[in-house]
Amino acid sequence: MDAQSSTQGRRVALITGVTGQDGSYLSELLLAKGYVVHGLKRRSSSYNHPRLEHILDPEYPDSERFHLHYADLTDFSSLCKVLRLTKPDEVYNLGAQSHVQVSFELPQYTAEASGVAVMHMLEAIRTTGLERSARFYQASTSELYGKVHEVPQSEETPFHPRSPYGVAKLYGFWAVKNYREAYDMFACNGILFNHESPRRGEIFVTRKITMAVAKIKLGRQECLMLGNLDAQRDWGHARDYVYCMWLMLQQEEPEDFVIGTGITTTVRKFAELAFARAGMPIHWEGPPGVTEVGVVSEGERKGQAVVRISPKYFRPSEVDLLLGDPTKARTKLGWNPQKTSLQQLVNEMVDADVDMATNPRAYLKY
Ligand code: NDP
Ligand code: GDR
């Protein structure tokens, strides 16, 4: 396909990580805005883009403007090839090994896919001669703050990452700043706090909880195992956050922005809200010394959902408290940090998971 000849004057976007949670929402947003959207997909031995299935359906109104290309962030030549073919006006670098706990198991790969790959993308843009025309968004993260030095966390708060993932993302953050300063590229970091949705990956804590709510309610799962219940996160909705990514690339000058709701909640509270949505009180269980409650008999916990604390899910070093200060995004971008409340997010995720657990094709709706 000659990608350029089919743009018909439309703006062109390239999304790495298009098969992920954010990639799917961003694709919908950009297609609705009239863009031609190109996405990178990795080769996999099995079908790996269920979050895009509805967009790939020829019945989807903008399907003909959506294109997938094989590439990998760790393969520089594949990035140059896709950039040369598509000549994007906007590049959204969302691809990463994005799981914090997994990054302790795969530190080197995480460094490459979530850190050095940012340099690959920036350098590939220069190599293909797009550095004056293409605007670049980097998916930076509140994990950069890591160990708590100040709350709420703003664009001025110092970084202290607490995982190989955070360290890799720190490299990417500074690569973006450096290319902006050195080559005058339009490159921005969005420092995004946690954002969730029914499309969230299944091993992140919110989705793990809401899927368990659905399965326990339907009698298909006995209990939910969790790690640190006291961690506090600033959770927003992914759909609201991808809009902010787009806004950042529409500004006159490239700048970095913190994106969060300004409200923080414990993992424990999220679980309570999720099980309450399905009408189930929680019975907390855990090894003595780890929680206040020991394991009890089935009779004692009748009618309650069992949530068991397991040290298996504790991290070698934890990020205890994240709370974003979205003042700059609110004032400069006109972005509304509280468009979706936590209760609305929990309700949407639980309801979707109950629906999907009973109807296997229901995922196409979410
Ligand atoms: P997901 O884990 O849902 O998606 C990650 C995407 O990256 C997937 O499309 C994945 O492909 C792709 N990917 C992974 N490794 C490679 C590689 N080597 N080459 C090409 N693509 C690769 O993440 P989210 O959508 O939740 O997050 C998007 C980005 O934002 C990530 O960079 C994440 O680190 C960052 N971020 C996320 C936050 C959140 O709360 N969601 C908060 C702050 C930052 P595949 O489907 O094949 O695995
Ligand atoms: P996080 O998200 O590490 O903040 O990274 P995750 O949902 O994995 O963990 C949030 C908090 O919950 C605690 N926790 C558990 N976590 C998981 N995954 N599974 C459990 O069973 C469990 N029990 C308790 C964790 O210890 C942690 O404190 C996400 C990712 O999307 C990153 O890519 C992104 O950069 C940051 O958010 C902002």
pLDDT in tens, 187-238: 999 999 999 999 999 999 999 999 999 999 999 999 999 999 999 999 999 9
User: Could you say which of 165, 206, 210, 264 is catalytic?
Assistant: 165
Closest CA to 39 of 16, 10, 63: 16
What confidence tier does 287 reach under pLDDT thresholds 50, 70, 90? Answer: confident
* Ligand number with the minimum distance to the CA of 39: 1
Residue 205 beta carbon below 6 angstroms from any ligand 1 atom = no
Between the CA of 98 and the centroid of ligand 1 the distance, in Å, is 5
* Ligand number with the minimum distance to the CA of 190: 1
User: Could you say which of 28, 90, 131, 143 is catalytic?
Assistant: 143
Between the CA of 18 and the centroid of ligand 1 the distance, in Å, is 8
Point out the ligand 1 atom lying closest to the alpha carbon of residue 142: 43
Question: CB–CB of 310/226 below 8 Å?
Answer: yes
Average pLDDT over residues 2-31: 89
Q: Which residue has the higher pLDDT, 68 or 4?
A: 68
Residue of the CA atom closest to atom 16 of ligand 2 = 205
- φ and ψ at residue 170, rounded to 5 degrees: -65, -40
Q: What is the spatial distance between Cα 350 and Cα 107, in angstroms, rounded to a whole number?
A: 32
Residues with CB under 6 A from ligand 2: 98, 100-101, 141-143, 193-194, 203-205, 208, 226-228, 231, 233, 267, 313, 315, 318
Residue 23 beta carbon below 6 angstroms from any ligand 1 atom = yes
Between the CA of 71 and the centroid of ligand 1 the distance, in Å, is 14
What does pTM read for this prediction? 0.96
Point out the ligand 2 atom lying closest to the alpha carbon of residue 142: 38
Residue 228 beta carbon below 6 angstroms from any ligand 1 atom = no
* Ligand number with the minimum distance to the CA of 110: 1
Mean per-residue pLDDT of the chain: 94
CB atoms near residue 29 (< 10 Å): 17
Predicted pLDDT at 350: 98
pLDDT in tens, 44-101: 999 999 999 999 999 999 999 999 999 999 999 999 999 999 999 999 999 999 999 9
Predicted pLDDT at 286: 83
Q: What is the spatial distance between Cα 153 and Cα 22, in angstroms, rounded to a whole number?
A: 22
Q: How far is CA 140 from CA 61, 71, 181, 187, 194, in A?
A: 31, 21, 18, 12, 11
Q: Is 165 a catalytic residue?
A: yes
Helix (H) or strand (E) holding 307: strand 305-309
Q: Is 143 a catalytic residue?
A: yes
Ligand 1 pocket check: which of 14, 15, 22 to mutate, most ligand atoms within 8 Å of Cβ?
A: 22
Between the CA of 226 and the centroid of ligand 2 the distance, in Å, is 11
